[in-house]
Structure 1
Amino acid sequence: MNAIFNVVSMEEFKRISTIEVAHTTWNILQTVCEGTKAVKINKLQQLTTKFEIDESVVVDENPSDRELSKNADLQEAYNKLCKVVVKDAMNVDIGLKKIASLELGIVTKKWICVAIFKAIALLVIVFCILCYLLKRRAVVIQGSDETNGENGLLASLSLDPSINMNEILNDGNDGARFSVISYTSVMAATSNFSLENKLGEGGFGPVYKGKLAGGQTIAVKRLGRNSRQGIPEFRNELIVMPKLQHVNIVKIIGCCIHGEERMLVYEYMPNKSLDCFLFDSKRSKLLDWKKRFNIIEGIAQGLLYLHKYSRPRVIHRDLKAGNILLDKNMNPKISDFGIARIFKPDELEANTNVIVGTDGYISPEYAMEGVFSIKSDVYSFGVLMLEIVSGRKNNSFYHVDHTLNLAWNLWQEGQGQELINPSISDSCVQFKVLRWIHISLLCIQNNTNDRPTMSDVLSMLRNDSIPLPLPKNQPFSFG
């Protein structure tokens, strides 16, 4: 292209009469040679179009031969230039179109990527929002189902003629905490009451270990179908236990009613009951001197709470080793309030025609006259203390006629140390254990007025300097 400018200069174009054509041709040449990459397609097309319009050359009407010759040369040069310019313009136009197309493709791909990214981000946000809404809806539905289930169970409780709901539900003043657990939750927690989860069986019915959906381990006491005492005990525990809040009282979590099913749900005690240790030759060795003292003191504190500090006051009436549960740290908790009785603040004793309790633990006045009071529990506590010291079941303390027990005979003979369990005889402080036996005999005296209160018992256990009175008579046991 530059070779063209070597042949034809600007001055030569200016000398011809077709000045407009020359300038147009020159502009096109200059555009093509110097600024092809920077020129827009439309501008180049405009210049080309203009050039094509002005393609005819206007000359003088009477030119000379020289001028005609010169004009002919210029015309030939001009025609050549036109061909070159048009060809180069077309090539430039095609190149620019390719470049524009390539740039457009790159820009298009870029925007497509941006659009895809935005779409993905939007989908992720929408997905997260949907998940949140679904989860929230599930929680609301679950809460609604649980509320409806609890309301249904409460309605079932209110229809049970053996239960007074006004006595069970918290009135805001007695500190009661009570939950109604659905049958589905209990079934799932106990693996459909599998044998692997069965902990044992008592007068009320079988007891199962379970785990609620929230992770809490529980013990489920299921009313036996042939249990005669089950319904009254079920009702009684629902009335009494939710009102009791003490570290040495087992905690009731709630209950479940489903058709004819009646279940009580408690906190789980991993070491089961005290009798599993006391009367087992191998496991009894795990109860050293310190543990036995802590167990005795804990039971005494629990009874003192029931008799004096709880609202309402409660008489347990069935205190025994089997009803003392042990947590993971071997701390004792009094359980099984199925036959417990609530006392009014000014009530000292009560009468009954139906004697309930466990053989060997029943006090004389209760067995013979049907009279019970806080001193009835004190009597049972004295028997339990002797069991903890000796490791022997209470029935073995007495002769066939129940007039004299082994503990009393050994004490009278000055051989009280013979009653101490061999597993602690070497490690214990003997005079302290003998003091325990002495306190036990004070608790199991026949006359209720001679027995100490649980407040007195705790003071005597904790303070060795407190003098102990002598037991007045031989103890009796009925069973």
Structure 2
Amino acid sequence: MPVMVFFVLAMAFVVAQAQQMQSNISRGSSLTPTTNSSWLSRSGVYAFGFYKQGNGYAVGIFLAGIPQTTIVWTAKRDDPPLPTNVTLDFTSDGFSLKPTPGQSFVIEYTSGSSASMLDSGNFVIYNARQDIVWQSFEHPTDTLVPGQRLFAGDEMFSAKSESDPSTGIFRLKMQADGNLVQYPVNTPDTPAHAYYASGTYGRGKNVTLNFGADGHLYLLNDTSSNIKNITDGGLPADQATIYLMRIDADGIFRLYSHDLNHNGSKSIVWESSKNKCDPKGICRLNSYCVSVDLDVECKCLPGFVSANLGNKTSGCRRIIADVCEYKNETFPNTMEELQSTIWEDSSYADLPLSDREACKRACLEDCNCEAAIFNGTSCRKQRLPLRYGRRDVGTPNLELIKVAISTTTPDTEKRSKRKGRTDILIIGLSLTAFGSILVAISVVAFCKHNSWSYGRVNIPILDSELNEDISLRPYTYEELEKITNNFTEEVGRGTSGIRVAVKRLEKVAAEGEKEFQTELKVIGKTHHKNLVRLLGYCLDGPKRLLVYEYMSNGSLADVLFTPDGKPSWEERMRIARNIARGFLYLHEECDTQIIHCDIKPQNILMDEYMCPKISDFGLAKLLKADQSRTTTGFRGTRGYVAPEWHRKMPITVKADVYSFGVVLLEIICCRRNVDWSLPDEEAILDELAYHCFETGELGKLVGEEEVNTRQFERMLKVGLWCIQDEPSLRPSMKKVLLMLEGTVDIPIPPNPISFLSTI
């Protein structure tokens, strides 16, 4: 009798468990994160539903009944975690989330009648005829289970980390050519970017990656012939062992076994690489991967630091900005050596040199060269950024990095201080008397000269204070007339007057004297290699003139918009980065924040080395309001001004970012922003740029010119972010520069053109 009672109770328990684990899910069913959180397969091995994710929940397929959460598939993997009070409803139109009405779930199908979590790990949805209309097996994320296939043209993406299932930086693709290949994300399917390949190129059509229950990974062609064994298989296949294949966050894809008899403990059965530095892109731009025990470390190039100190894999940026003029005495360039590393070969010149020092000199004397690979017989010049770097003790390559250094090192500073103290003690007393006499004579001579000069040009007393503040030379009007041949040597025309080496401000308001002197103080103190340097000034009655350094190659407009001799793609990239560095200085690095207000190619001048320098900054405020027909206070040039100027909104540095974005599009496309000689649909460059980006027709913007497609798309995205209608969406100039240098990832920009049609 007791045995019978036990048998009845056991049967009741089994029936209850079977009812709980039944896999037929009907319309109207629902799940919540805290109660009735998942639907189990009949065997209870797999479950579909909510699982804990960060500070909330996610929806997906996972191994049930084991302590650690082992995810097989994730729905909407890039969405933020869901709150506790959310409900997942199964309806005829799809899965919907509440209390977020109208939010569509990732599973899309028609006429869903029922669903099932199968023992194979496949979650399926049926129509009324019991035909499968959707299945998770056809939408893999980062994991395959036995019985699941990866079809030709399909790919899987790694997770961001072990605890974050969102899309990471590596992908595994079953290519249409029969090759199973691993790449970093956002790269073309070319050998230069691959870091694992099955070597089955051209071995058949419609090749698929298959996964057997015994852990056997293999490739089949369209005739079901086995063309490649990825793993040998033949492993124990029982109900207590589950095999999963996953492309991990570190970029390596592995075969795991999970022992359900021991709380699902897992072990690695096979992996595509033993070297964690093999995946290209594990360390970002300008950094290289070094194996440290069982982990990896990303190290920066010499002269570089991490772009994000909180993220070791964020890539690296220069400590001292790139110095184009290699003869600069403040930050001269030198070549630092980096032994035993390999990088992507993106060289633009290959010199037959067998001497290391000759290779260094060749790079130092080339403004475009930022690094060089020397292997004993050749010197391959490269531009930044460098990528796919890793240490390889077997390589003969020597990487040479151009680094700008300060001429004063900590050691020389200490020595100078010690030497200075000694020199002062020895000669201080002897020079005091002589110095005092010399200073007295100089002051008398200086005062006499300046009283004559100031009297002749009628400069107010305040101007002597101005000269002391900014150390600029005062000129007489007659001097400048003679220097410029009566102002006939014209370089270009700016908003405020004729710009030559000497620039006349022709429309300065009479009441703007104090503002003029204030701005002159600010501009006189600025000094950056990408700003035209102010050397002097003239205040002669109503005449206001500024003396700038002479720029021999005219303006950026002259360089970009002439039919012949336009700069190469690499030169245009360098020009764009240097312009961004100049505006970063104006916005964030000089003593007083300066908003330029009139950015356009005509206001960017080119020196003898084709290095761009910004002019006319900070002086637009001095112009009269009659320069425009629009609202009083409007400054700038149509086609380049930000929308907030027209809306009478407060103007911030983001107005400059907008104008820079327009100029950037002109630089990469080598055409004017507005060109009515073209068809109407192509006349406005920013409208055309987004249309071509959205449709993938980049060829319309490039024309017949050969450019680096990846770099072109990157710069195009930067430009589209800069011209966003809403100022808060535009990046700062610091972020713009990081994006142009390739240091940070760039999200897909939204359509920026919502207001331009009304201007």
> Per the shorter chain, which TM-score range?
0.5 to 0.7
Closer/same/farther in 2, CA of residues 401 and 372 from structure 1, 3 Å limit: farther
- Identify the residue that residue 302 of structure 1 maps to in structure 2: 582
Is 2:481 the counterpart of 1:199?
Answer: no
Cα offset, 1:186, TM superposition: 1.6
Contact 1:417 1:434 in 2 (8 A): no
Question: In percent, how many aligned pairs have the same letter?
Answer: 35
Q: What corresponds to 2:747 in structure 1?
A: 468
Matches of 1:454 and 1:183 in 2, distance apart? 38
Instruction: Give the whole-Å Cα distance in 2 for the aligned partners of 1:167 and 1:297.
Output: 37
The corresponding residue for 1:443 is 722
1:368 shift after superposition: 1.2
Task: Output aligned runs, 1:385-396, within 5 Å.
Answer: 385-396=664-675
Is the contact made by 2:477 and 2:538 (CA closer than 8 Å) also made in structure 1?
yes
Pairs within 5 Å for 1:383-462: 383-396=662-675, 405-420=687-702, 422=704, 425-426=705-706, 428-462=707-741
Q: 2: distance between equivalents of 1:318 and 1:279?
A: 19
From 635, 638, 654, give the equivalent of 1:359. Answer: 638
What CA distance in whole angstroms lies between the structure 2 residues aligned with 1:404 and 1:326?
24
Q: Could you tell me the TM-score, scaled by structure 2's length?
A: 0.37
Mapped to 2, the partners of 1:141 and 1:387 lie a distance apart of 55
Aligned residue-pair number: 304
Unpaired runs of at least 5, structure 2: 1-441, 623-630
Alignment of 1:29-428 (within 5 A): 146-152=449-455, 156-158=459-461, 168-171=466-469, 176-193=470-487, 195=488, 197-208=489-500, 219-224=501-506, 227=507, 232=512, 237-284=519-566, 287-340=567-620, 353-396=632-675, 405-420=687-702, 422=704, 425-426=705-706, 428=707
The SS at the match of 1:206 is: strand
Shift of 1:419: 1.0
Cα distance in 2, alignment partners of residues 144 and 167 from structure 1: 14
Q: 1:167 to 1:396 in 2, by over 3 A?
A: farther
Q: Secondary structure at the match of 1:304?
A: helix
Alpha-carbon distance, 1:321 to partner = 0.5
CA offset at residue 266 of structure 1?
0.5
Relative to structure 1, the CA distance from residue 456 to residue 475 in structure 2 (aligned partners, 3 Å threshold; closer, same or farther) is farther
Distance 1:317 1:236, change over 3 A: farther
Name the CA shift for 1:411/1:170 in 2 (closer, same or farther; >3 Å): farther
Q: Secondary structure at the match of 2:496?
A: coil
Question: 2-side partners of 1:170 and 1:440: how far apart?
Answer: 41
C-alpha offsets along residues 306-364 of structure 1, whole Å, 9 cap, x if unaligned? Answer: 1111110111111110110111001111100254569xxxxxxxxx9511111011111
Is the partner of 2:675 in helix, strand or coil? Answer: helix
State the SS of the aligned residue for 1:395: coil
Q: 1:429 to 1:327 in 2, by over 3 A?
A: same
Residues 204 and 229 in structure 1, CA contact (< 8 A), matched pair in contact too: no
Q: What is the distance in 2 between the residues matched to 1:198 and 1:274?
A: 15
Q: Deviations over 1:390-409 (max 9, x none)?
A: 11111239879989711111
Q: C-alpha separation between the residues in 2 aligned to 1:357 and 1:314? A: 15
Check whether the contact 1:199–1:207 (CA below 8 A) recurs between aligned residues. yes
Q: Is the 8 A contact 2:665 2:716 kept in 1?
A: yes
Deviation at 1:243, TM superposition (A): 2.1
Distance 1:336 1:149, change over 3 A: farther
Q: Secondary structure at the match of 2:674?
A: helix
Counterpart residue type for residue 585 of structure 2: Y
Higher RCO (CA-CA < 8 Å; seq separation 6+)? 1
Shift in CA distance, 246/145, structure 1 to aligned 2, threshold 3 Å = same
Instruction: Describe the shift of the 1:234–1:338 C-alpha distance in structure 2 as closer, same or farther (beyond 3 A).
Output: farther
> SS of the residue aligned with 2:499?
strand
**Which structure has greater strand proportion?**
2
Offset at residue 420 of structure 1 (A): 2.2
CA distance in 2, matches of 1:140, 1:376: 46
Instruction: Structure 1: state its 5+ residue gaps.
Output: 1-138, 159-163, 209-218, 343-351
What's the TM-score once normalised by structure 1's chain length? 0.56
Matched position secondary structure for 2:580: helix
Q: Do the aligned residues in 1 keep the contact of 2:673 with 2:686 (CA within 8 Å)?
A: no
Structure 1 residues 394 and 150: CA distance shift in structure 2, 3 A: farther
Structure-1 residue corresponding to 2:309: none
- Mapped partners of 1:167, 1:368: distance in 2: 39
Measured on the aligned residues, the alpha-carbon RMSD in Å equals 3.5
Q: Is the 8 A contact 2:519 2:618 kept in 1?
A: yes
The C-alpha deviation readout for 1:124-180, integer Å capped at 9, x for no partner, is xxxxxxxxxxxxxxx99996664234433785245xxxxx75994444xxxx33221
Which residue identity lines up with residue 595 of structure 2 in the other structure? I
| SS of structure 1 residue aligned to 2:546 | strand
Give 1 or 2: higher helix fraction.
1
Matching residue's letter, 1:300: A
How far the C-alpha of 1:474 sits from its partner, in A, is 2.5
Contact 1:273 1:326 in 2 (8 A): yes
Farther-moved stretch of structure 1 (245-254 vs 255-264): 255-264
Q: Which amino acid aligns with 1:178?
A: L
SS at 1:372 equivalent: coil
> Does the residue aligned with 2:724 lie in a helix, a strand or coil?
coil
Contact 2:529 2:613 in 1 (8 A): yes
> Which is worse superposed, 376-385 or 144-153?
144-153
SS in 2 for 1:311: coil
Cα 1:474–1:192 change in 2 (3 A) is closer
- Secondary structure in structure 1 of the residue aligned to 2:651: strand
Distance 1:202 1:367 in 2: 21
- Secondary structure of the corresponding residue to residue 647 of structure 2: helix
* Higher radius of gyration, 1 or 2: 1
| Residue of structure 2 in register with 1:123 after alignment | none
| Matched AA of 1:387 | E
Is the CA contact (8 Å cut-off) linking 1:307 and 1:313 kept in structure 2?
Answer: yes
Residue in structure 1 matched with residue 223 of structure 2 by the alignment: none
Structure 1 residue aligned with 2:8: none
